[in-house]
A = this chain, B = another copy of it.
Amino acid sequence: MSFNSFGRVFRVTTWGESHGPALGATVDGCPPGVALDEGAIQPWLDRRRPGQNRYTTQRREPDAVEILSGVYEGCTTGTPIQLMIRNTDQRSKDYGDIADSFRPGHADLAYFQKYGLRDPRGGGRSSARETAARVAAGAVARAVLDDLVPGLTMQGYMVQMGPHRVDPARLDPAEVDRNPFWCPDPVAAEAWARELDALRKAGNSVGAVIEVVARGVPAGLGAPVYGKLDADLAAAMMSINAVKGVEIGAGFGAASLTGVENADEIHMSGEEGGERPVYASNHAGGVLGGLATGQDLVVRFAVKPTSSILTPRASITRTGDAVDLVTKGRHDPCVGIRAVPVGEAMMACVLLDHLLLHRAQCGEGVRGVIGPA
């Protein structure tokens, strides 16, 4: 069932509300014997942490993670890892006036219609604050992946803010950490800064597209037909707050291609002594038939503009009266920015889960080697 869990072997359950005492993740199924402590998790949380620059919410949360179980003397034991993050800067009064109204673009009304009641403080469970727990869980997944697949790397970045896309000719992975937008294109980053300043001043917000790429994924991860690697990635990314679309490789662009254009031709790598199949292009985005091809795994997802804005929008109250709502509080003018580390974390969790699934069914040995008989 598992409303609040994802993963099969490496299974993460998150819990907690935006303005409750704490939130966290219960991580079950983690392999034993992996070095782990708070110090290995905190840096990833710090990347997602609010209040770091003027483009993200000014809520001040240290987001300090505590490991409550599953680790002994700096090593995972194979038992559940409880990761807890205390909420410290809950200004629930910011939300007092919307307890009986429903913010447009938010889940307020749908929650009320589903459950008959809701925690209105900051959106409660539907707040993007939940993604801190994902990042913490993702950091655990990374630590395990580092152990099991040393060459595997993951990087997320923004490729579009509002209608403005990065220029593929200027993409530079090294740029990603140099600006507050995780933008790989330095020219675009400057333009985005101006754009976002203007939007913020106007009490408005904007959407974005994030791309996450994993390199060094072993060929064969994934499974037919409902355990497909891309299906799990789609669910993982779509489950992130405000995400409205997910695509793999050529994605929606594949609809416009012909079969001749789209086929990624295959040849041997030509490496002396270590020849292996490689592809001439990567329209597939690293997945065919739900299985990793060993190419770069390329996932993009679209994030809608932050719904909490200072411009009044029409809505209703619990008694059905019309109301104009301005969402005060402290909000991200482009929630897509902080979605970058979240997308990376989800990628890490999905890949580790599939790695463990694969060795469950197929073992650790390499199968299906191509070469002279």
Bound complex: CA A20 to CA B68 (Å): 7
Segment with Cβ contacts to B, from A52-60, A169-177, A180-188, A248-256: A248-256
Task: Map CB proximity to B onto A230-268 as digits: 1 under 8 Å, 0 otherwise.
Answer: 111111111101001111111111111111111111111
A11 located at the interface, meaning its Cβ lies under 8 Å from any Cβ of chain B in the complex: yes
Q: Considering the complex, give the chain B residue whose CB is closest to the CB of A100.
A: B373
Q: Considering the complex, give the chain B residue whose CB is closest to the CB of A82.
A: B15
Instruction: Indicate if the CB atoms of B363 and A364 lie closer than 8 Å.
Output: yes
Copies per assembly: 4
Q: Considering the complex, give the chain B residue whose CB is closest to the CB of A250.
A: B244
A303 located at the interface, meaning its Cβ lies under 8 Å from any Cβ of chain B in the complex: yes
A72 contact set on B, CB distance < 8 A: 17, 117-119, 121, 124
Bound complex: CA A268 to CA B314 (Å): 11
Q: What are 12 A-to-B residue pairs whose CB atoms are below 8 Å?
A: A1-B8, A3-B80, A3-B361, A4-B223, A9-B357, A33-B115, A104-B266, A110-B291, A113-B277, A163-B255, A255-B336, A263-B309
Instruction: Indicate if the CB atoms of A114 and B304 lie closer than 8 Å.
Output: no
A179 located at the interface, meaning its Cβ lies under 8 Å from any Cβ of chain B in the complex: no
A280 contact set on B, CB distance < 8 A: 314
A81 contact set on B, CB distance < 8 A: 15
A319 contact set on B, CB distance < 8 A: 370-373
A235 contact set on B, CB distance < 8 A: 226, 231-232, 234-235, 238
Q: Given A68-B15, A226-B5, A319-B370, do A255 and B303 touch, yes or no (CB 8 Å)?
A: yes
Q: Considering the complex, give the chain B residue whose CB is closest to the CB of A318.
A: B370
